[in-house]
Amino acid sequence: MSDAAGEGTAKKHESDETETRQARRWPWVVGGVIVLALGIAVLWVMTRPEERAAKPPPPPPLARSAIAEPAETLTIRQTGFVRPEATLTVAAEIGGRIADVGSDFEVGNFIEEGALLIRLETTRIEADIASAEAAVAQSEAALAEARIERDRQEELEEKDFAAEAVLQQAIVAVATAEADLTAARATLTQAREQLEDATITAPFAALVTEESAAEGALVQAGASLGTLVSAEAAEIELGLTPPDLRVLGEAERAIGGRVILRDPAVPDAVLATGEVVRVDGDIAPETRTVGLIVRVATPFEDGEDRARPLRVDELVALELPVDVEDRGVLAVPPEAVKGRGTLWTIEEGRLARRQVTVLQRAEDRVLIGGAELAAGTRVMLSDLPGAVDGQEVRIEREGAAGDGS
């Protein structure tokens, strides 16, 4: 019995301890429930519909913009080499010794048409002319004598006083004398031509670029004694690229256009002005460009409107203004074009992505084909990361194409 009583006592003691521990936990449980209730209440207050409605959404991003404006002119810019309109090698038609060199026949000098370049010694030629003149006189006398004898034999033959064979001999003698006279006259003509060839003059107004003649020097026929280039005009080829041709429509539309020539090292210096006179019929195989031939009058002379004269074979910068007022070409600031041909328009406060054809890029503007865009369209200048079609934006301030606003 004592064992059973002790076991009951132990169980009661254990039960009392359990109740004590549970009694101790109860305040903590109640406290946790209260804290949880307070948190839920605060969360409910913060997330009430009326509170959410009162909090405004973030505003759309600001975007700088400009207006796409019609372009009146487009300037095609290329480079080209100055080529004389005509180049002539100075050479003697005959051999001989140089007796005189023209005073202006020096490198860098301008010479007028007909100016003396070189004169060869003519003593031998003049002697040949005198001899040829004498031979002509003798042949003329011999022919006259032969004709008299022929006429006399014809009269005798009509009266039956002369034989037919004698008359035929007289006729042959006349023919021979005529042939001799023709040969003598040809020799005289040749001698006189040699006398003319002994004097070399400038066939046109020219600039001397090479000269190697010296008095007393013996020259061979055909040997070069110098080089002349026409001072009247020079030609430069301006190559049209595919974008240039898209602007012009066809290369022939540029004929008659005024071209400004500048020094590439000094862009503000105008060297001369020229005119497009024709289109090269061949396409350049390396660049695949179509050439416009620009003619420049008196290129190697000074002028009030020229920084300096042009130089033969120098590289110059060419500017050809083209009227595009009726071509639908638009101008936008450079910041408007993203990449090669993407821009964003702003229509009713929302973005729209557009692909355009870039015709020309400059520091202050980009010219684009107007077929893809209407004049007066507002375009975005800002760079918005992650911009998408339909995105709402706010316009920062008004601006126009080219003003950077």
pTM: 0.64
Question: Domain 65-72+328-395 is of which CATH architecture?
Answer: Beta Barrel (2.40)
**122 pLDDT band (50/70/90 cuts)?**
very high
Q: Helix, strand, or coil here: 68?
A: coil
Which pLDDT does position 5 carry in this prediction?
46
Distance (Å, whole) CA 119 – CA 42? 118
Query: Could you tell me what percent of the chain has a pLDDT over 90?
Result: 56
Would the pLDDT of 287 be above 60? yes
First and final C-alpha spacing in the chain = 107
Q: Where are the alpha helices (DSSP H) in 76-197?
A: 123-158, 164-197
Distance (Å, whole) CA 271 – CA 260? 8
**328 pLDDT band (50/70/90 cuts)?**
confident
**369 pLDDT band (50/70/90 cuts)?**
confident
Which pLDDT does position 282 carry in this prediction?
81
What rounded mean pLDDT belongs to the chain? Answer: 84
Q: What is the mean pLDDT of residues 49-76?
A: 81
Distance (Å, whole) CA 133 – CA 156? 35
**1 pLDDT band (50/70/90 cuts)?**
very low
Would the pLDDT of 36 be above 70? no
Would the pLDDT of 46 be above 70? no
Write down the CATH number for the domain with range 123-197. 1.10.287
Q: Which CATH number fits domain 74-83+233-322: 2.40.30.170, 2.60.40.650, 3.40.50.300, 1.10.10.60?
A: 2.40.30.170
Distance (Å, whole) CA 366 – CA 359? 8
Q: What is the mean pLDDT of residues 221-227?
A: 94
pLDDT digits (tens, 9 = 90+) for 249-282: 788 989 999 999 999 999 888 999 999 999 988 8
Which of 26-35, 59-68, 352-361, 369-378 shows the lowest mean pLDDT across its residues? 26-35
Q: Which amino acid, one-letter code, is at 378?
A: R
Shortest CA distance to 336 belongs to which of 351, 326, 349, 321? 351
Q: What is the mean pLDDT of residues 388-404?
A: 70
Which pLDDT does position 399 carry in this prediction?
43
Which pLDDT does position 31 carry in this prediction?
57
**171 pLDDT band (50/70/90 cuts)?**
confident
Across the strands, what pairs with 111? 206
Look-up: residue for tokens 């031939």?
293
- Other Cβ atoms less than 10 A from the Cβ of 364: the count is 11
Which pLDDT does position 2 carry in this prediction?
46
Top pLDDT among 155 and 213 is at: 213
Which pLDDT does position 405 carry in this prediction?
38
